[in-house]
Chain A
Amino acid sequence: MDLSELNSPEMQKFYSEEQQKAVITETVAKVTSECWDKCITGTPGNKFSSSEASCLSNCAQRFVETNMLIWKRFQSMQ
């Protein structure tokens, strides 16, 4: 195995793109899971009630904001 090929610009680009995709996929899964737990408190119906729908929307926003806030705080500590 020629490990120097791991430094090629193509490989770097590939790796970087895949890493970004993975972060987004992970975050979407996390938000879905957390907001499901927070907002769907009763028996799931054949559609979302309006309160469930608002809750899910708010939840996703707040989660993303929390994430960004923490990143900023973390960066300001560098």
Chain B
Amino acid sequence: MDFSKLDSSDMQQFYSQEQQLAMVNEMVSKLTDACWDKCITGTPGNKFSSSESTCLSNCAHRYIEMSLLIMKKFQSLQ
């Protein structure tokens, strides 16, 4: 294995893309869990009720909003 290739800009780009993909996957997974728990409180039906849909949409937005706020807070501590 030639470690000098780790510095190439192709490798950097590949790595960066993979890292972003991983982060997106992680976030989707987390959002699904968190918002399922918060919004689907009764027996799941054969489609989402309108309050469930609204809740899920709000939930996803709020969670991401919160995630960004906390990230900014951490960055300001650097």
Contacts and interface: CB of A to CB of B under 8 A. Distances in A.
Interface of A: 1-2, 5-6, 8, 10-11, 14, 24-25, 27-29, 31-33, 35-36, 40, 43-48, 56, 60, 64
B6 A44 contact: no
B74 A29 contact: no
Contact of A40 (B1, B26, B38, B73): B38
Contacts of A33: 30, 34
Interface residues of B, number: 27
B52 to A, nearest CB: 10
Interface of B: 1, 3, 6-7, 23, 26, 30, 34-35, 38-39, 51, 55, 58-59, 61-63, 65-67, 69-71, 73-74, 77
B38 A28 contact: no
Given A33-B34, A40-B38, A28 B62 contact: no
Contacts of B67: 28-29, 32
Contact of A36 (B7, B34, B58, B73): B34
